[in-house]
Amino acid sequence: MLWAHKRIATDDIRSVELLFREQAVSFDRTRQMLLVSVVEHGSVVRVWVCVPEIELLTPYYGFSLCTRADLPLAPTLVAGCPEQFGRLFEG
């Protein structure tokens, strides 16, 4: 699984979420894709997306690849499988 991240305006998270949900329906049969976020300040949020193949990152303009070690300690699940989120971030 590949992770990528980007800072965006809070108002823009909905469009990223819609893209993610469309991809998850088509490409996430194992329910491992995740979209998580952390509010940084005011109207800025940092989002991370987890996808199985590099090609799926193409529509996420401006996102940068990152490692598992770069993930936040306590993000909020925006979209994806709650069980997978729990395995990665809650223990």
pLDDT in tens, 21-51: 999 999 999 999 999 999 998 899 999 999 9
Residue 77 has pLDDT above 80, yes or no: yes
Mean pLDDT estimate for the chain: 94
Q: What confidence tier does 56 reach under pLDDT thresholds 50, 70, 90?
A: very high
Provide φ and ψ at 77, rounded to 5°: -75, 120
The confidence score (pLDDT) of residue 41 equals 86
C-alpha distances (whole Å) from 83 to each of 27, 32, 34, 40, 86 are 18, 9, 11, 25, 5
